[in-house]
Amino acid sequence: MIIKEAEFVISNTEISKCPTDGKAEYAFIGRSNVGKSSLINMLTDRKKLAKTSGRPGKTQLINHFLINKEWYLVDLPGYGYAKVSKTSRAMFEKFISEYLTTRKELANIFVLLDSRLEPQKIDLEFMSWCGEKGLPFSMVFTKIDKLSSTALQKNLAKYKKEMLKQWEELPPVFTTSSDSKFGRERLLNYIEQINLNMNKT
Ligand code: GTP
Ligand code: MG
């Protein structure tokens, strides 16, 4: 898929203020600093579309980016950020879970996982929650430029093993690097396929 246009539309914490044009959207979620905003920039080939930072906790709102005037990429805040207070974490969880469970336009959730880490409880729990709620999701391993392919394969195998304890089959799995742009075509083609299927029905 070719990205001709990518424009920022709106940031907010209120579902009622999200776009109402009914276009399909794809949300990026995962722990703080895992590379959600960077991946959105990599996919759209725009360096500063989504704000990134070396420090966790950069993205705080639900951010809609309109792509080719046809569909949205949605950048979400990270979960599991230790430095936020309990109250703001609870509030955060509320608006994110409300967004994920009520947004009819949500075509797929990309759950980002740091490819350098072994399976993390918080990520496994989040994916179980998606399963319970019947939300479609894919696993996206990030930052693969930061480890050897042997180490990557080892972590992927561990993750698959862990997931298969809970699931009969694995969701789609992607490996990406926002630095080298590895995985860009495959992920965009996957989105394009979902868009096509939705237009058929
Ligand atoms: P929050 O908004 O705080 O939840 O973080 P985020 O998940 O949006 O992460 P962000 O995209 O801001 O990236 C965090 C840090 O990781 C930045 O310093 C990025 O440059 C770096 N980073 C992200 N993706 C990659 C990658 O594929 N490779 C490398 N080497 N660094 C990456
Ligand atoms: Mg971010």
Question: 49-52, long-range: CB within 8 Å, 24+ apart, which pairs?
Answer: 49/6, 49/8, 50/75
Tell me 45's DSSP state: T
Give the model's pLDDT for residue 150.
Answer: 97
Dihedral pair phi/psi, residue 26, rounded to 5°: -125, 120
Question: What are the tokens at 170?
Answer: 């694995």
**Minimum CA distance residue for ligand 1 atom 21:** 35
Tell me 84's DSSP state: S
Ligand closest to CA 180: 1
Give the model's pLDDT for residue 129.
Answer: 92
* Residue 172 buriedness (CB in 10 A; 0-12 / 13-18 / 19+): middle
Ligand closest to CA 177: 1
Distance CA 35, CA 106 (A): 20
CATH number of 6-200: 3.40.50.300
User: Which DSSP string do the residues of 135-179 spell out, in sequence order?
Assistant: --EEEEEE-GGGS-HHHHHHHHHHHHHHHHTT-SSPPPEEE--TT
Distance CA 108, CA 96 (A): 15
**Minimum CA distance residue for ligand 1 atom 10:** 35
Ligand 1 pocket at CB < 6 A: 32-38, 52-54, 56-59, 77-78, 142-143, 145-146, 177-179
Instruction: Sort residue 97 into left (φ over 0), alpha (ψ -120 to 50) or beta.
Output: alpha
Distance CA 41, CA 50 (A): 6
Task: Point out the residues of the chain with pLDDT beneath 50.
Answer: none
Distance CA 45, CA 178 (A): 10
* Residue 78 CA to ligand 2 centre (angstroms): 7
Measured from the Cα of 178, ligand 1's closest atom is: 27
Measured from the Cα of 75, ligand 1's closest atom is: 8
Give the model's pLDDT for residue 58.
Answer: 82
Please state the domain extents for the chain.
6-200
The DSSP bridge pattern shows strands 106-114 and 137-142 to be parallel
Give the model's pLDDT for residue 88.
Answer: 65
Distance CA 52, CA 65 (A): 15
